[in-house]
Structure 1
Amino acid sequence: MTTSGLVPESSPRSARRGADGDYPRLLRRISEAGLMDRRPGYYIVRLGLVGAAFAGGWAAFALIGDSWWTLLIAGFMAVTFAQVALVMHDVAHRQVFRLRRPAELMGRIVGNAGIGLGYGWWQDKHTRHHANPNHEELDPDVAPDILVWSQRQARSSRGAARLIGRAQAYLFFPLLLLEGLNLHLAGVRALRNRSVKHRGVEGALLFTHFALYLTAVFAVLPADKALAFIAVHQGLFGLYMGCIFAPNHKGMPTLTGDERPDYLRRQVLTSRNVRGGVLTDIALGGLNYQIEHHLFPSMPTPNLRHARLIVRDYCAEIGVAYHETGLLSSYREALRHLHHVGAPLRHPDELSAAG
Structure 2
Amino acid sequence: MSTNVDSGALRPTTRPEDDGTVAPPVAGEAPTFTPRPPGQRKVVVQRTNQVIASYSVLLKQVRAEGLLGRRRGFYAGVALVLGLGLTAASTGFLLLGDSWFQLIIAGVLGIILTQFAFLGHEASHRQIFASRRTNDRVGRVLAAGVAGISYAWWMDKHTRHHNDPNTVGRDPDIAMGTLSFREEDAAPRTGFHAWFTRRQGYLFFPLLSLEGVNLHVQSLGILLRRGKVQGRWLELALIASRFGLYLGVLFWFLPVGLATAFLGVQLAVFGTYMGASFAPNHKGMPILPAGSTADFLRRQVVTARNIRGGSFVNNAFGGLNFQIEHHLFPDMSRPHLRRAAVVVREHCATLGIPYTEVGVLQSYSAVIAHLNKVGLAARDPFDCPLIQRYRR
CA distance in 2, matches of 1:296, 1:193: 34
The structural deviation recorded for 1:201 is 1.1
User: Which amino acid in 2 is paired with 1:49?
Assistant: V
CA deviations over 1:267-309 (Å, ceiling 9, x no partner):
0000000001111111111110000000000000010000000
Matches of 1:93 and 1:60 in 2, distance apart? 34
The superposition leaves residues 15-64 of structure 1 with CA deviations (integer Å, 9 ceiling, x where unpaired) of 87652222111101111111001111111111111122123222221221
Question: Which residue in 2 is equivalent to 1:169?
Answer: 201
1:285 aligns with 2:314: no
**Aligned ranges 1:1-355 → 2 under 5 Å:** 18=49, 19-157=51-189, 162-191=194-223, 192-349=225-382
Distance 1:138 1:113, change over 3 A: same
Q: Is the 8 A contact 1:148 1:161 kept in 2?
A: no
Q: Deviations over 1:156-196 (max 9, x none)?
A: 45787545312100110010000000000010001115242
Number of aligned residue pairs: give it.
Answer: 337
What is the alpha-carbon distance in structure 2 between the residues aligned to residue 91 and residue 36 of structure 1? 15
The normalised TM-score by structure 2 is 0.83
Distance 1:189 1:158, change over 3 A: farther
* Aligned-residue CA RMSD (Å): 1.8
Max radius of gyration: which structure? 2
- What is the letter of the counterpart of residue 212 of structure 1? L
Given that residues 190 and 378 in structure 2 are in contact (C-alpha distance below 8 angstroms), is that contact kept between their aligned partners in structure 1? no
Contact 2:179 2:197 in 1 (8 A): yes
CA distance in 2, matches of 1:315, 1:193: 45
Query: Per-residue deviation at 1:136?
Result: 2.2
Taking the aligned partners of 1:183 and 1:140, their CA distance within structure 2 comes to 14
Q: How far apart are 1:117 and its partner, in Å?
A: 1.0
Determine if contact 1:144/1:161 at 8 Å carries over to the other structure: no
Code of the residue aligned with 1:292 in structure 2: it is E
Look up the match of 2:4: none
C-alpha change, 1:278 and 1:96, in structure 2 (3 Å) is same
CA distance in structure 2 between the aligned counterparts of 1:101 and 1:158, rounded to whole angstroms = 48
* Cα pair 1:145 1:161 within 8 Å, conserved: no
Contact map agreement 1:38 1:300 (CA 8 A) in 2: yes
Q: Distance in 2 between matches of 1:198 and 1:276?
A: 37
Instruction: State the alpha-carbon separation in 2 of the partners of residues 30 and 162 from structure 1.
Output: 47
Over 3 Å counting, the alpha-carbon distance change for 1:349 and 1:197 in structure 2 is farther
Give, in whole Å, the separation in 2 of the partners of 1:233 and 1:47: 20
> How far 1:331 sits from its partner (Å)?
0.4
Q: Report sequence identity in percent.
A: 44
On the 8 A contact 1:248/1:273 being kept in 2, the answer is: yes
What residue ranges of structure 1 are gaps of 5+ in the alignment?
Answer: 1-14, 351-355
Q: CA deviation at 1:213?
A: 1.2
> Bigger relative contact order, structure 1 or 2, given CA contacts below 8 A and separation 6+?
1
How many Å apart are 1:349 and its aligned residue? Answer: 4.3
Cα distance in 2 for residues equivalent to 1:72 and 1:109? 26
Counterpart-to-counterpart distance in 1, 2:293 and 2:327: 16
| In structure 2, C-alpha distance between the alignment counterparts of 1:282 and 1:64, rounded to whole Å | 29
Query: 2-side partners of 1:145 and 1:90: how far apart?
Result: 26
